[in-house]
Amino acid sequence: NLYKLVNVLLVENVTNEPAIVRDLAMIKVAATHEARSHVLELASVFRARVVDVAPESLTIEITGAEDKIDGLLEVLRPYGVMEMVRTGIVAMRRGSKSSAGISAISPLAQDAAGEDVSYSV
């Protein structure tokens, strides 16, 4: 999958604008039969979802603010975090305003009708 990485086409600073900011993590945690219900309950509290179940582990997917993900990691640590991957922060402006200039950079930024579409990869 590293060979499929897409070049960054446009970066805009939305720090001082209303924006939706998210991070995504997948966490594989040791979950013996005895601990499984506790781990599932913690995932539920953080509104995370289980995406894989194995005999001795659960893989949990969580999206949200960095502190939410950090909080889940902290409470799962005593059970044994076996593996974790994280996307890093992504953001998009709130409301109807979209990134200007993306269609000038890439023809992929148009829908089937030829209308400009703002996108991030």
Residue 66 and residue 114 in one domain: no
Comparing CA positions, the residue from 87, 79, 80, 70 lying closest to residue 121 is: 87
Residues 12 and 50 in one domain: no
* 24 and 12 in a common domain: no
Same domain, yes or no: 25 and 83: yes
* Token pair belonging to 102: 């993306």
> 0.75 exceeded by the pTM?
no
Residue 5's pLDDT is 72
Do 11 and 38 sit in the same domain of this protein?
no
Residue 28, pLDDT above cutoff 90: yes
**Quick one: pLDDT at residue 104?**
56
Measure the CA–CA gap between 33 and 98, rounded to whole angstroms: 48
Task: Report pLDDT for 47.
Answer: 97
pLDDT confidence bin for 117, thresholds 50/70/90: low
Strand partners, 20: 92
Do 35 and 57 lie in a common domain?
Answer: yes
Which segment of 13-27, 40-54, 94-108 scores lowest on mean pLDDT? Answer: 94-108
What CA–CA distance (Å, rounded) separates 100 from 12?
9
Structural domain harbouring 23: 19-91
Give the CA angle between residues 96, 99, 101 to the nearest 5°. Answer: 130
| pLDDT for res 108 | 55
Tell which residue, 11, 27, 110, has the closest CA to residue 64. Answer: 27
Q: Which residues contact 111 (CB under 8 A, 6 or more apart)?
A: 117
Q: Grade residue 84 by pLDDT with cuts at 50, 70 and 90.
A: very high
One domain for residues 83 and 31: yes
- Asked whether residue 95 carries a pLDDT value surpassing 70, the answer given is yes
pLDDT at 118: 55
